[in-house]
Amino acid sequence: MRVETREFSLQLESPLDTAHGSIEHRKGILVRVEDGDEVGIGEATPLPGWTESLPACRAALADIEAPGDELSNLEERLTTLESTPAARHGLSLALADIRAKRDGVPLYRHLGGPEQVEVIPANATVGDCSPAETVDAVVDAVSAGFECVKVKVGVRSVTDDVARLRTIRDAVGSDIELRVDVNGGWSRAQAREAFHKLDPLRIAYVEQPVSGDDLDGLADLRGRSVRVAADESIAETSVDAVLDADAADVLICKPMVLGGPDKVVEVADRARDIGVTPVVTTTIDGVVARTAAIHAAAASPDRPASGLATGAMLARDLGPDRTRLVDGSVSVPQDAGNGVADTWGRR
């Protein structure tokens, strides 16, 4: 058995502007586990603010060796990576890829998916930009078949962002689901003002309206027609803290943040048990992790529109994307394992 790692850097097609700042590239580490004739590929793509840093991820993976000749021995090492979720994601995905291949099933069935799933509805994502540019981007997404669009806000004033969203709603009508992502950019007072003004615009939910450590602020916003989604709060506190505080109607489940697709399934089950809706999204990852996120969403018994249509945001990728995005839905690979080609030889 052998474990190898290789670093990569992926440029975005254009910067994604958020309340946290601009994301221009994604740097990470590919993890390759070779066990006899079988190979599993994982991806660790840290995103500071959500996961550990790249140096911390690199150090965590550097300590991983293949102990003995049993895959289970390496799987036991996952417990040592709980504090570095991106590193855990990379190794756990590589191991799950091998396990699913051995069982001859697609990854989502290995993760416990109860039935065959061909496609997952996806949401389009539109960054912060001028009202005219925002409307054009949303209209283009709807024309491409998306029935759900997430719009980044929080950089501008509440008044300006509400005006942007009102223009969008007027342009696309009432049937399109609109989600709003603040990335923690509002104060409590701004959030209350925004929720009041957003009520007539039929916004499905507002993602992380206040800072990630303000669970009381999130909880205080619940009970309105606009639902509250927790994202950064999961990274800054924990899933347990968010759920125990009754701080969310929706839980944003990022595999890279939670530590792997297996963790997503576990967390999603816990959320559904208490009436919280899990929504799987990526952190603008490469094709290896992005495809695994599709499998994680497919393993769920209920599949709301998920943030899986992010491949086009990258100027180049780690390898070919075997999934298809058609009419706002992404196809689920049916080959054994993750369904991603061995990308080891690409840079």
| Tokens (6 digits) for 80 | 């040592």
Does the annotation mark 254 as catalytic?
Answer: yes
* Residue 129 vs residues 2, 141, 153: alpha-carbon distances, Å: 46, 15, 9
Residue of 101, 152, 197, 263 marked catalytic: 152
Residues 6+ apart with CB under 8 A from 172: 138, 139, 142, 149, 178
| Tokens (6 digits) for 53 | 């840093």
Does the annotation mark 152 as catalytic?
Answer: yes
- Contact between 251 and 229 (Cβ < 8 Å): yes
Does 302 count as an annotated binding residue? no
Give ∠ CA 9-10-12 in degrees, rounded to 5: 145
Does 231 count as an annotated binding residue? yes
Does 249 count as an annotated binding residue? no
Q: Which amino acid is residue 134, in one-letter code?
A: T
Block residue for tokens 């968010």:
242
Strand order in the sheet with 124-126: 124-126, 148-152, 177-181, 203-207, 227-230, 250-253, 277-280
Q: At 326, phi and psi to the nearest 5? A: -130, 125
Q: Which 8-state DSSP code applies to residue 51?
A: B
| Tokens (6 digits) for 147 | 């029935």
Residue of 101, 197, 254, 263 marked catalytic: 254
Give 3-state DSSP helix, strand, coil % of the chain, rounded to 5.
40, 25, 35
Residues comprising the binding site? Answer: 181, 207, 231
Q: Which residues are catalytic?
A: 152, 254
Residues comprising the binding site for Mg(2+)? Answer: 181, 207, 231
